[in-house]
Structure 1
Amino acid sequence: GDGSFDAWWEWIPDNVVMFGDFPLSVGDRIYMEVDASSKTTGVAILENLTTGKKATHTFTRTPSTLCETDAEWIVEDFADNLAGFSDITFTNNSAVTSSGTVTPAGGTIINLAKEGTGPLETDCGIDGDDVYCKYIGNL
């Protein structure tokens, strides 16, 4: 990889789609919101609080239905081994459901391993309403 990063969305089984015209830099603070108004419609909103840039995507013609029971914070590399990165923290996370508000507590952490089965490259976890991820691989 080239050490760059992008904001993207994905509605499985379709491929990942990058948010257009939404540049990111190390240290940027990003506000994220996803509203699933039904099992097949919704909106994703990103706002770069550092630069003031905003990007949205409205979902109207979706390839499958949502389970409406899953929220994910993802740090990954699609095709190459993960490049070293500074610590990342997703703060003040929650999901609102018909049953109330849930936080990351009790969520499942999946750390990345080199080539999928080698030594771990990330140490990610949950601290209250925050989700953090640290690079621990070899540079």
Structure 2
Amino acid sequence: MPDARVTVTVHGPDPLSRAGVVRHLQHQPSVELVDRPCPLGDEPRGAVAVMLAERLDDRAGAELRRLVRGGRQRVVLIAGELRETELMAVMEYGVRAVLWQHRTTPKRLLRAVHRAARADRSTPCGVDRRL
């Protein structure tokens, strides 16, 4: 049985990176992109949020916490670099999947989005392999 259609928002400070993720997801029949992520302070839209962050700095950490707050959205993080302590923090925030930027492919991204959509809060964070 195919996965149900999943609504997705894409977040991140770099417009080119966001456009690349949108391009990969927009033609997937099992994904419905929500064009405009909600403004800061509003309730998240979409079942899954894809967050792009080169590093887990204060701004990225605050955005991740905002996205997972209340458990209404499940988050897939595409990260450039994460130290072990930052990875543990991401898991504590409730991020459902972590993909490494240099290893992310359209297929891996789509699989992570669907797994995140199906996961409940007790499901452990899925982390793509490290080098």
Normalising to structure 2: TM-score of the pair?
0.27
More strand by share: 1
Q: Based on CA coordinates, which of the two structures has the bigger radius of gyration?
A: 1
What is the TM-score when the length of structure 1 is the normalising length? 0.26
> Higher RCO, 1 or 2 (CA under 8 Å, sep at least 6)?
2
